[in-house]
Structure 1
C-alpha cells in the first residue's frame, strides 16, 4: 500500500458514533471526511485527497428489514473505495437488540457482501474507558468501571438496554453465526499468529479482547495482517480505528498527528437534545447553573403527528427569545432515563422527535445566524442532521479530554449551513461542562 491510498472506510450506525471515528482518524494523521449520504461525483471530488471515508447512518435505531434494504448499498459503495478495511462502526457500549439496531444483522450482511469467511469484532477502546476482557464488556461512568449489564446508564437504556455483558451471548440473540474469542491470555502468546489463522478457519466471526494499549496494539497488528485482498469487513467501536492507527504508524503508512487551530469562543450556541442519558442530564443541569437557558419540550407532544407542529413552533419561539436575550440555549426532551416515556420507544416516535428537533435547530441557525451548534443523542443526531442540508463533515477541533464528540465543520450547498461548526454528542460522552467547552472553543471548565 502506498502513502496516498485509502486506508479505511466506515459506516457509522448513528451520527455521534460516526464523528467518533472521524475524530480518532483525523486527529492522528489520517485525512478523513464523513458523508451524510452516498456522495455524488462533485461532492466526492472535493475530498479526493482523503485517506478515509465514512458514511453516517441510522441503523442503530432501525429494524433488520430496514438494514437489509439500506445497509447493502451503503456498504457496497464503501467496498468500491477498495480500502484495506471497511468498518461497520457500532457504539462502544455495543447496545443493540434483535429488532432494533441489530449488530448481528449488520455482521451477516457485511460478511456476505465481502464474501468473507471470518469477520473480526473489536469493541474495547481504552481511550474512551471501554474494555473487553474474556469476552465481557466493561464501561466507565463517573470515575468507576462497571460491567455493562450493571452499568448505571446502559443497563437501563430506554430502547436497547444491555442485560448481558458477555458479547458473544449478546450477539447470539441477533445472529446464528459461530463467534470465537481471542482473549487476553491468547494475545500475549508467542504463537498468536498461528492460533488466529486457525480460529479464522474455524469461526465465522472472531471477537478480540482489548483492555489496554498493549492489547490494542496487538489487535491492530492482527487486523491489518489478516485483511483480505480488496479489503476486509470489520465490526466494532472506534477501537478498530485506534488499534489500526498504531499499526499504520509502525509501518510508516501515516505521518505525525496534525495540529488544529483553536476556533475561539462564540457568544451564543444552540443545543437540541433528544438524549435520555443521565450523562446528558448532568450536562444540561450544569449548563443551566452556568448561564445557559434550558427549555424542556414535551417529547410526547413533539412526537405526535397531531400536536407535533404546535410543540415545535412553541419550542422554537422559546429558543429565539433566549438567544435574542444573549443567552446560549438548550432545548431538551428528557432529563435522564427516568424521564423517558416507554410509549415513545417506537421507530415512528424516535424519528419524529429527531426530525422536529432538527427543524428547530435549522430555524434557530437561520434566524439568529448562529455559527456553532450542538445536537445531543445518537438517534437524535442522525435524524436531526437531515434537516440541515449538510452533506459532509470534517474535524474542526478534537476534544482529547472527552474523545468521541469533536467540533466539526459542515459542508452544504446551502450557504447558511456551509461552514457551520457543529458537534454531535453521544449520550455517554463528555464532562459536565461539555456544552460550555464547545461554546468556548475547546476550553475546559
Structure 2
C-alpha cells in the first residue's frame, strides 16, 4: 500500500465484506480503492487460486443478492458466504448494507444477516455505521437522513425510500427499524458520546457475550473519522458488522489521519468512448431523470414491454425486439438504453402486481424475472456488437446482469459518480475480460449520468 506506514498495518487483509446487492458492493470497493487500499470484488466465493492473481489486495468483497431475499434464503445461503470470507482472516467481516437501510422482516432482513454473521467472528460487539456524508446520508441520535437535490429528509419522509415498492421506510430510527428484524440487543453511541473522551467506556458498558449491535452516529467528516477510529481500535480478535459503505469511508478517514493511506483520496479519470449501452430496472425518480436526459440528448431509449417480457410465450420475441433496436443504434453510433420503468409513478410500477399476476408470478418472482430479462438483453447485445463499456441501473438488475455475463471479479478502473465507479471485469472468457461496467444504484448520479459514463466525466 503506497503513501503510508507499512509497519503499522496487520499482516493480510484488513477487511472482508459481503454486499447485499451488486451496486452496493461496487460502492464499498470504490471507497476502499479511492482511499489507497487495493480491493477486489468477487462474484463468487473467493478461492486461493483467484486471490493469488492479486497479491497486493488488502480488501476482498463478495457481491450478493440478499437485499431482495427472504430470511429462509439467508439461512440457507449466508452461512457459507460468511464462512468463506471469515476464513480469509481479516479482522473485520462486514455485511454491506445500503446506505438507505433497505430491509424488512420479510425481505432483505439486516437483523437476520447479523444473527447469522456474528457467529463467524469472536467480538463482543457488532458495530454498525450507516451514515456516509459523501453519499448524503447522515445519522443523528439513531435516526437516518438522506439529502436529495440539496434538501435533507428523514428517511421515513424521503420522497423515494418512504415509497419503495418492496421495502418502504416507515421508521427513521434505525434502532426501532432493526428491532423488528432481530431480538438482539441494540445500543447506540450517538454523535455527542462519540466525541467524548469516555467513548471507550461507553462501548465497554454496551459490549457483552450476547454480542449486541452498537450503532454509531455519523454526521460529518469529524464524526466519520471518530467512528472509524472506534471500530478499528476496538476490533479486538475480530468483529462482524452490518454497515453501509460508511464503514469504508470511516476506516479510511481514520487511517488517513494516522498517515496510513494517502492524504488525498482519488481515482483515475475515465477516458471517453464513442458509444455505451445501458439496461435499467430501477424505479427511482433519480434514474428516471437520467433516462429523460439521455432521451433529450441523442441516446436511443427503448422501453421493455413488461407484459410481453414476463409472459413465457412472448418473452424471447420481446428480448429480440429490444436487442435489435439497441444493436442498430450502436451500429449508427448512438448509445442505447433499455429500461423497464421510468420513476415510481410509471404505470408499469403502479400496475406491476397485476402484470405479475397475469404471468402467474408473485411480485418477487416477477421482479427477478425482469432482472433476468434485462441480463439476457445485455448479454445478447454484447455478443452482437463491439461494445466495451456498459451500465446497469438498479441494485437487483445489476446482480442479475453481472451474474449472467461470465464475470469472475471486478476492480475499480476509474471514478464516475460517488457510489458508482467504472469497473474493470475479470473473466476467463476473452470476450468479457476487460469489459468496462458501471453498476448504478437507483439514487446515484446526476441528471447527465449516462452521458458522463460515455464521455468519461466524473
TM-score range relative to shorter protein: over 0.9
CA contact (8 A) 1:27 1:258 kept: yes
CA contact (8 A) 1:410 1:422 kept: yes
Equivalent residue for 1:76?
A: 83
Equivalent residue for 1:287?
A: 294
Structure 1's 300 and 44: CA in aligned 2 closer, same or farther, altered over 3 A? farther
Structure 1 residue 182 and structure 2 residue 189: aligned? yes
Q: 2:457 aligns with which of 436, 442, 445?
A: 442
Q: Distance in 2 between matches of 1:43 and 1:366?
A: 26
Secondary structure of the structure 2 residue equivalent to 1:234: strand
Equivalent residue for 1:330?
A: 337
Structure 1 residue 210 and structure 2 residue 225: aligned? no
Structure 1 residue 417 and structure 2 residue 425: aligned? no
Q: Distance in 2 between matches of 1:407 and 1:347?
A: 29
Post-superposition Cα deviations, 1:133-161, rounded to whole Å, max 9, x if no partner, equal 01110001111110001000111111111
TM-score (norm 1): 0.95
Secondary structure of the structure 2 residue equivalent to 1:27: helix
Deviation at 1:285, TM superposition (A): 0.2
Q: Distance in 1 between matches of 2:268 and 2:206?
A: 46
Q: 1:397 aligns with which of 375, 394, 414?
A: 414
The answer for unaligned runs of 5 or more in structure 2 is: 1-7, 357-361
Q: Distance in 1 between matches of 2:373 and 2:305?
A: 12
TM-score (norm 2): 0.93
Equivalent residue for 1:147?
A: 154
Q: Distance in 2 between matches of 1:97 and 1:124?
A: 19
Secondary structure of the structure 1 residue equivalent to 2:17: strand
Deviation at 1:257, TM superposition (A): 5.4
How do residues 226-305 of structure 1 correspond to structure 2 at under 5 angstroms? 226-229=234-237, 231-255=238-262, 260-305=267-312
Deviation at 1:90, TM superposition (A): 0.4
Structure 1 residue 44 and structure 2 residue 51: aligned? yes
Post-superposition Cα deviations, 1:85-132, rounded to whole Å, max 9, x if no partner, equal 111100000011111111111111111232443211111001111000
Q: Distance in 1 between matches of 2:125 and 2:10?
A: 28
Structure 1's 301 and 415: CA in aligned 2 closer, same or farther, altered over 3 A? same
Structure 1 residue 433 and structure 2 residue 448: aligned? yes
How do residues 53-92 of structure 1 correspond to structure 2 at under 5 angstroms? 53-92=60-99
Q: 2:106 aligns with which of 69, 78, 99?
A: 99
Equivalent residue for 1:21?
A: 28
Q: Distance in 1 between matches of 2:119 and 2:311?
A: 39
Q: Distance in 1 between matches of 2:312 and 2:263?
A: 51
Q: Distance in 1 between matches of 2:52 and 2:88?
A: 13
Equivalent residue for 1:197?
A: 204
CA contact (8 A) 1:292 1:327 kept: yes
Equivalent residue for 2:167?
A: 160
Equivalent residue for 2:371?
A: 354
Post-superposition Cα deviations, 1:325-360, rounded to whole Å, max 9, x if no partner, equal 221011000000112144157332122111121111
Q: What's the C-alpha RMSD, in Å, of the aligned pairs?
A: 1.7
Equivalent residue for 2:231?
A: 223
Equivalent residue for 1:315?
A: 322
CA contact (8 A) 2:270 2:422 kept: no
CA contact (8 A) 2:46 2:62 kept: no
Q: Distance in 2 between matches of 1:194 and 1:15?
A: 37
Q: Distance in 2 between matches of 1:261 and 1:164?
A: 39
Equivalent residue for 1:111?
A: 118
Q: Distance in 2 between matches of 1:127 and 1:258?
A: 12
Q: Distance in 1 between matches of 2:259 and 2:84?
A: 27
CA contact (8 A) 2:269 2:415 kept: no
CA contact (8 A) 2:371 2:397 kept: yes
The answer for unaligned runs of 5 or more in structure 1 is: none
Q: Distance in 1 between matches of 2:124 and 2:162?
A: 33
Secondary structure of the structure 2 residue equivalent to 1:283: helix
Deviation at 1:250, TM superposition (A): 3.5
How many corresponding residue pairs? 440
Secondary structure of the structure 2 residue equivalent to 1:264: coil
Q: 1:372 aligns with which of 363, 366, 389?
A: 389
Q: Distance in 2 between matches of 1:248 and 1:314?
A: 51
CA contact (8 A) 2:26 2:419 kept: yes
CA contact (8 A) 1:4 1:51 kept: no
Q: Distance in 2 between matches of 1:380 and 1:297?
A: 13
Secondary structure of the structure 2 residue equivalent to 1:249: helix
Post-superposition Cα deviations, 1:22-51, rounded to whole Å, max 9, x if no partner, equal 100001100000001113343221112200
Equivalent residue for 1:408?
A: 423
Q: Distance in 2 between matches of 1:440 and 1:398?
A: 12
